[in-house]
C-alpha cells in the first residue's frame, strides 16, 4: 500500500490500474457478450417464425387406402450404410389431426399409429406385362484358326 506520506503513489499506480481494469471490466465484457448472444438468438427466432408463417412447410396428406413407406428410425450403434431406410409398403387406414396417420401392414395385419412426417407415398413398380423381358444366353466362343 501507499505510505502515510503519500509520496510513492506513482510507483503503485500501475498495479492499482491493472487491478481496477481486471476486476471491473471483465463483468462488463461478459454482459456485452451475453447481450449480443441474446440479440442473435432473438433475430434467429424471428426469422424462423417468419419462415414458418409463410406456410412453406408442406404438410403431407395421405388418403385412406393409399400405400405408404415408413421411415425406419431405429438407433443402432453401427448402422449399415447400405441398409434401406424405408420399410413397407403399408396401407393408410385413418388420418388423425396434427399429421398422425394410422397404417396397417398387409402381410401381418398389424396396425400402427405414426407421425405423418415419417411417411412417404409408395409408388408401384412397373408391372411385368408392361415391361419387355430380354433373355440372355451364354455365347460360345469358337477359335478361328
Residue 33 counted as domain residue: yes
Q: How many domains does the chain have?
A: 2
CATH of the domain at 106: 2.30.30.140
114 and 79 in a single domain? The answer is yes
**Residue-range definition of the domain harbouring residue 21:** 7-57
Kindly report the three-state secondary structure assignment for every residue of the chain. CCCCCCCCHHHHHHHHHHHHHHHHHHHHHHHHHHHHHHHHHHHHHHHHHHHHHCCCCCCCCCCCCCEEEEECCCCCCCCCCCCCCEEEEEEEEEECCCCEEEEECCCCCCEEEEEHHHEEECCCCCCCCCCCCCCCCCCCCCCCC
Residue 127 counted as domain residue: no
Q: Is 95 exposed, middle or buried (0-12, 13-18, 19+ CB in 10 A)?
A: middle
53 and 71 in a single domain? The answer is no
Residue 62 counted as domain residue: no
Residue 135 counted as domain residue: no
Residue 49 counted as domain residue: yes
Residue 2 counted as domain residue: no
Q: Please list the pLDDT of the chain residue by residue as tens digits (145 residues).
A: 556 666 677 778 888 888 877 775 556 677 888 888 999 999 999 998 888 887 666 677 788 888 998 887 765 666 666 676 788 789 999 888 888 889 998 888 888 898 888 888 888 775 556 667 777 777 677 777 6
46 and 81 in a single domain? The answer is no
79 and 52 in a single domain? The answer is no
Residue 24 counted as domain residue: yes
Q: What pLDDT is stored for residue 20 in this prediction?
A: 74
86 and 51 in a single domain? The answer is no
The strand pairing partners of 103, in sequence order, are 92, 112
Q: What pLDDT is stored for residue 42 in this prediction?
A: 93
Q: What pLDDT is stored for residue 81 in this prediction?
A: 67
115 and 82 in a single domain? The answer is yes
73 and 51 in a single domain? The answer is no
**CB-CB contact of 62 with 68 (8 Å):** yes
Amino acid at each position: 500500500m501507499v505510505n502515510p506520506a503519500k509520496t510513492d503513489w506513482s510507483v503503485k499506480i500501475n498495479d492499482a490500474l491493472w487491478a481496477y481494469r481486471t476486476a471491473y471490466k471483465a463483468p462488463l465484457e461478459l454482459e456485452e457478450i451475453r447481450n449480443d448472444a441474446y440479440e442473435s438468438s432473438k433475430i434467429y427466432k424471428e426469422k424462423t417464425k417468419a419462415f414458418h408463417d409463410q406456410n412453406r412447410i408442406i404438410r403431407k396428406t395421405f388418403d385412406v387406402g393409399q400405400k405408404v413407406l415408413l421411415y425406419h428410425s431405429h438407433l443402432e450403434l453401427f448402422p449399415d450404410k447400405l441398409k434401406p431406410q424405408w420399410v413397407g409398403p403399408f396401407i393408410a387406414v385413418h388420418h388423425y389431426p396434427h399429421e398422425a396417420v394410422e397404417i396397417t401392414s398387409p402381410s401381418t395385419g398389424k396396425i400402427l399409429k405414426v407421425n405423418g412426417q415419417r411417411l412417404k407415398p409408395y409408388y408401384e413398380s412397373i408391372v411385368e406385362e408392361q415391361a419387355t423381358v430380354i433373355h440372355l444366353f451364354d455365347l460360345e466362343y469358337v477359335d478361328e484358326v
